[in-house]
Amino acid sequence: MSDPAVPDFLERSGRPRLACRHIAGRSPTIVFLPGYMSDMAGGKATALFDWAAAEGHACLLLDYAGCGLSNGLFAEQTLLDWRGDVLDLIDAKAEGPLLIVGSSMGGWLMLLTALALVRRDGPGRVAGLVGIAAAPDFTDWGFNAAEKAIILAEGALLEETPYSDQPYVTTRAFWQSGEANRLLDAEIPLTCPVRLLHGQEDGDVPPDVSLRLSAALASEDVQVTLVKGGDHRLSRDTDIALLIDTVARLATRN
């Protein structure tokens, strides 16, 4: 049996090699999707993986191409490239129903991935979704007109960020991919249970985004939890405990 703490790799023809951590166990498989310029080594991902391993739940962590331990250049990836990474790893590592957890941009990819899986495999493939400061459509509301003009004219926007010593890079190709895959302006045809966690002090993704997402989802089983004092990361011990409790409640319903 392989050591779940040691990353596994998925080789792909014509696309970057992807890093992941996977542990077999009870269904549904919990899949964690990190945020922009983030990876599977983050505190929320690690805590969720450790909890799943202790409880005997199947779990899959991953690094998108150009992130973490995966191959590829970050600036060459688009939103749909990363959705393709997620689908490739799910197909290679996860069987049966999935409980997908998405943090920030990972919340957008969570929705795009779920829509693709439901179209292909039927609604039973997605047992539930948990968004953590989910950020669908951030190419629209996350940039002002001047910033969008720079992206289009110069091909990329570099921004300082408190989350990394490297600047955030938003390329024209990524931005255009995001704009072509916006979700909040129409009904999102997902009917599984959805839980949305959002810090009230989130300075990066306004809590209103989770409320808009709740309204757009076709599911009648959607709950939004606003966390008093919570920032964008929601990485305090109490925030991690809330995340694990939320995932546990959905996982045990199946």
Peptide bond into 28 cis (omega under 30): yes
Write the CA distances from 70 to 10, 13, 67, 97, integer angstroms: 9, 14, 6, 25
Given the residues 63, 85, 202, 204, select the one marked as catalytic: 202
Residue 252: other Cβ atoms inside 10 A: 11
Tokens matching residue 153: 């004219």
**Phi-psi category of residue 201: left, alpha or beta, with phi > 0 → left and psi -120 to 50 → alpha:** alpha
> Using CA atoms, how far apart are residues 154 and 156, in angstroms rounded to an integer?
6
Scanning the chain, the segments in alpha helix (DSSP H) are 43-55, 79-93, 105-121, 138-141, 145-154, 172-179, 208-216, 237-251
Active site residue 202: yes
Strand partners for 168:
159
Active site residue 232: yes
Active site residue 104: yes
Given the residues 137, 198, 232, 239, select the one marked as catalytic: 232
CB contact at 8 A, 147 and 154:
no
Rounded to the nearest 10 degrees, how much is the dihedral formed by the CA atoms of 84, 162, 232, 169? Answer: -30
Given the residues 70, 104, 177, 210, select the one marked as catalytic: 104
CB contact at 8 A, 226 and 198:
yes
- Give the residue numbers annotated as catalytic, written as ranges: 104, 202, 232
